[in-house]
């Protein structure tokens, strides 16, 4: 088949690299000619609001997917008139709106931090009274990696917060004193079949994912079951096709859903080497109507994001079980420009190899 | 770095797919715009004897490699004036000449079938007297996958044989009643470090590789040691940089070297999923001067070539542990257009999954 991808970053690149061996051709639409995905696919260089480019993409492919949440709704609607868009628009719309997302969790019985809608100064005051402090005020839309958020520690933080986020619709969330951040990635095929990857454990630095460990260390089975139950319920509710990620907080054996990403996800990058079938391949299989591949883990693995600048690559490649993924982006502070997955036979060996990787300390933001 | 590849077939395609994650750019020179490698690399479409195209390739890259043995020597020499060519030309020249190849084996103490040079009718008669029948007359150059060969069963087959191969320089080889065909793939870095993959077992159909099993079944340790010793000696003798394959015959615990391939090899395709580091990645690592990756096997695997036409792909993808590699070539009788690797936790499970794959029987030549 011919696959169109909206977005030309590293996720599009890794999707394209997974699509070629399956016999597909890939056309990427993105704003810059030298973006990561452009080197491994046919390129349409244009902004996402360029109707003629959108039409050209639709005319050249059999199915369209996307690599980021904030695709303009108008572009998706325009494409959907001509070819299927997968995952479905409802997932994109829900994932792009923190309030709709949290409300969906609640309606499925998936536990979340306390939350309330904030549409103005008055509703912020009401929400603070209901949820208490500390709490986090987030824009409903367009926030990621710690952007578009304000931590409200004391009453003094409340009055300026709403205006400082641009007086746009927000959500106030109770600050959860969680033990660890987890996530789960799963895929659903056109036939409704579902696979879920092992629950992973994520560590962030400066609001950007730094390390993912697969499997997560010492998570109670009850919590793992809740994570699997949550993603299965979400995949079904959304009549989903493709890969979905759910970010979670672990508190004892409680699991609180934080947010979904209706796409392949940074916390699933380790699946390229660390699972029988990668998240990228399973996304491609799903959107093209093929059977899903096994999500079984291959040994234990850990992913380290390369942020800002590249480490000394020969030293990375000298680490046993290290697998390098460079995205072809220019170095810039705070920018994800690659990742390294270390694979090992068990958790202990994985953590030793991860320590070797982290000791290089060139990945600093 | 920027890597140039002479040849735009499936080997070039899989090299390019391995090179991108390591942060390299790839330029492919090949005769056809829609060849397999062209979709995943920058393309120079030209014949291999086009000097201006050769010069353009050399001007755009830091190192040049090749994906087939029969690259014109003049092209290699021309490139080598400007940028390094790896593996070294001596390997290409030796591998392209069956007599030089067999003589190298002999000089290294690597056992072979009996052989003799055949340059005319008279030397063929002499060679037949020395080696006996049955024997195989092969052109010294340009033969592959069973082409350019004549089986001489009886004296009656001898007189027409030399002329039927075009009266070109040949080699007569004694026909070895081997138990099985094996091969070993290894890599050598610029620093002289060597890794070798597990010895594999190959089955051919109609002279084309059909199935590779990794590891090979029930090979005596003495034979495995001889295979490893042979490739290590060859890599050193050739001052090799890159991936080398050695095809072997197993007779009891004897191992006879048949031929080398100074490139990534069809019997190493399973390493994409079935080894810690694929042959393609290790070739790229070697030619770019990076440390080699581990060649450790990941479970047990088997590779099935897709020859002539594609099977029903959803049925392939439904086989547990199946990994599809479609090359993007048109279907044509006798043509390798893809392969499938099944990976499993052990040999028994591997063979069950392989049986599922072979039962599809769409791979027929």
pLDDT of residue A365: 42
User: Considering only CB atoms, which chain A residues are within 8 Å of B328?
Assistant: 20, 23, 25
Q: What is the mean pLDDT of chain A?
A: 95
**Closest chain B C-alpha to A331 CA, distance in angstroms:** 13
Q: Of B20, B293, B326, which is closest to A317 when you measure between CB atoms?
A: B293
What's the CA gap between A56 and B297, in Å, rounded?
45
Residue of B nearest to A314 (CA): B290
pLDDT < 70 positions in chain A: 143-146, 361-365
User: Which positions in chain A have a beta carbon within 8 angstroms of at least one beta carbon in chain B?
Assistant: 13, 17, 20-23, 25, 39-40, 276-277, 285, 289-291, 293-294, 298-299, 310, 313-314, 317-318, 320-326, 328, 338, 343
Closest approach of B213 to chain A, Cα-based (Å): 18
Closest CA in chain B for residue A20: B326
Cα separation, B130 vs B123, in Å, equals 10
Of A246, A203, A202, nearest to A227 (Cα)? A246
pLDDT at A211: 97
Q: Which of B27, B273, B275, B293 best probes binding to A when mutated, by most A CB atoms within 10 angstroms?
A: B293
Closest CA in chain A for residue B298: A298
Interface test mutation site (partner B, options A13, A22, A294, max chain B beta carbons within 10 A): A22
pLDDT by residue for chain B (365 residues), tens only, comes to 999 999 999 999 999 999 999 999 999 999 999 999 999 999 999 999 999 999 999 999 999 999 998 888 899 999 999 999 999 999 999 988 999 999 999 999 999 999 999 999 999 999 999 999 999 999 998 765 557 899 999 999 999 999 999 999 999 999 999 999 999 999 999 999 999 999 999 999 988 999 999 999 999 999 999 999 999 999 999 999 999 999 999 999 899 999 999 999 999 999 999 999 999 999 999 999 999 999 999 999 999 999 999 999 999 999 999 999 999 999 999 999 999 999 999 999 999 999 999 999 654 44
Torsion angle (degrees, nearest 10) of CA B46, B48, B51, B52 = 20
Name every chain B residue with its beta carbon within 8 A of the beta carbon of A326. 21-23
> H-helix or E-strand containing A28?
strand A25-30
CB contact (8 A) between residue B328 and residue A20? yes
What is the Cα–Cα distance from A137 to A148, expressed in whole angstroms?
Answer: 9
Cβ-based contacts of A310 with chain B (< 8 Å): 23
Q: What values do phi and psi take at B45, rounded to 5?
A: -95, 110
Mutate which of B2, B17, B23 to test chain A, going by most A C-beta atoms within 10 A? Answer: B23
- Partner-chain contact B25 A39, CB within 8 Å: yes
Sequential DSSP letters for A245-284: EEEEEEETTEEEEEEEESS--GGGTTHHHHBSS-HHHHHH
**How much is the pLDDT for A361?**
66
Question: What is the model's pLDDT at position A352?
Answer: 97
Q: A269, A286 in Cβ contact below 8 A?
A: no
What does the pLDDT read at residue A364? 47
Most B CBs within 10 Å, among A2, A14, A40, to test the B interface: A40
Kindly provide the ipTM of the predicted complex, given to two decimals. 0.92
CB atoms B290 and A314 under 8 Å: yes
CB-CB neighbors (< 8 A) of A325 in chain B: 21
Kindly determine whether residue B40 and residue A20, on different chains, have CB atoms separated by under 8 Å: yes
Minimal Cβ distance to B324: which of A22, A324, A338: A22
Asked if the Cβ–Cβ distance from A17 to B21 is below 8 Å, we say yes
Question: Chain A residue with minimal CA distance to B16?
Answer: A40
Q: How far is B110 from chain A (nearest CA, A)?
A: 32
CB contacts, 8 Å: A298 with chain B = 298-299
Please give the Cα distance from B267 to B204 (Å, whole number): 11
Contact between A313 and B290 using a beta-carbon 8 Å cutoff? yes
**Phi, psi for A14 (deg, rounded to 5):** -70, -30
Predicted pLDDT of residue B262: 96
Residues of A in Cβ contact (< 8 Å) with B317: 22, 285, 290-291, 293
pTM over 0.90: yes
Q: B336-339: which pairs have CB atoms within 8 A and are 24 or more residues apart?
A: B336/B10, B336/B208, B336/B266, B336/B305, B336/B306, B336/B307, B337/B306, B337/B307, B337/B308, B337/B309, B337/B310, B338/A23, B338/B10, B338/B305, B338/B306, B338/B310, B339/B266, B339/B269, B339/B303, B339/B304, B339/B305, B339/B306
């Amino acid at each position: 088949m011919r696959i169109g991808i909206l977005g030309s970053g590293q996720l599009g690149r890794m999707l394209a690299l997974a699509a070629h061996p399956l016999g597909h051709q890939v056309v990427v639409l993105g704003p810059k000619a030298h973006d990561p995905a452009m080197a491994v696919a046919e390129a349409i260089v244009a902004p996402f609001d360029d109707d003629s480019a959108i039409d050209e993409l639709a005319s050249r492919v059999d199915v369209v997917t996307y690599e980021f949440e904030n695709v303009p709704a108008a572009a998706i609607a325009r494409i959907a008139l001509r070819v299927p868009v997968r995952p479905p628009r409802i997932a994109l719309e829900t994932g792009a709106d923190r309030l709709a997302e949290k409300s969906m969790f609640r309606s499925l019985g998936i536990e979340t931090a306390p939350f309330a809608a904030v549409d103005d100064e008055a509703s912020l005051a009401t929400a603070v009274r209901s949820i208490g402090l500390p709490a986090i005020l987030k824009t409903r839309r367009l926030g990621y990696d710690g952007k578009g958020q304000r931590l409200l520690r004391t009453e003094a933080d409340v009055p300026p917060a709403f205006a400082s986020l641009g007086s746009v619709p927000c959500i106030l969330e109770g600050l959860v004193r969680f033990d660890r951040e987890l996530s789960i990635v799963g895929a659903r095929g056109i036939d409704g079949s579902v696979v879920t990857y092992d629950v992973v454990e994520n560590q962030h630095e400066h609001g950007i994912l730094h390390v993912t460990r697969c499997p997560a260390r010492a998570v109670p089975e009850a919590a793992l079951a809740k994570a699997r139950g949550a993603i299965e319920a979400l995949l079904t509710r959304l009549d989903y096709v493709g890969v979905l990620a759910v970010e979670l907080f672990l508190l004892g054996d409680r699991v609180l859903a934080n947010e979904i990403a209706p796409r392949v996800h940074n916390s699933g990058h380790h699946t390229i080497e660390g699972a029988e079938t990668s998240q990228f391949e399973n996304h491609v299989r799903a959107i093209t109507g093929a059977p899903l591949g096994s999500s079984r883990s291959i040994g234990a693995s850990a992913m380290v994001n390369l942020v800002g600048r590249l480490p000394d690559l020969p030293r990375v490649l000298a680490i046993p079980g290290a697998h390098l993924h460079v995205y072809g982006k220019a170095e810039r502070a705070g920018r994800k420009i690659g990742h390294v997955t270390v694979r090992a036979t068990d958790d202990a060996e994985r953590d030793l190899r991860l320590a070797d990787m982290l000791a290089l300390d060139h990945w600093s933001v």
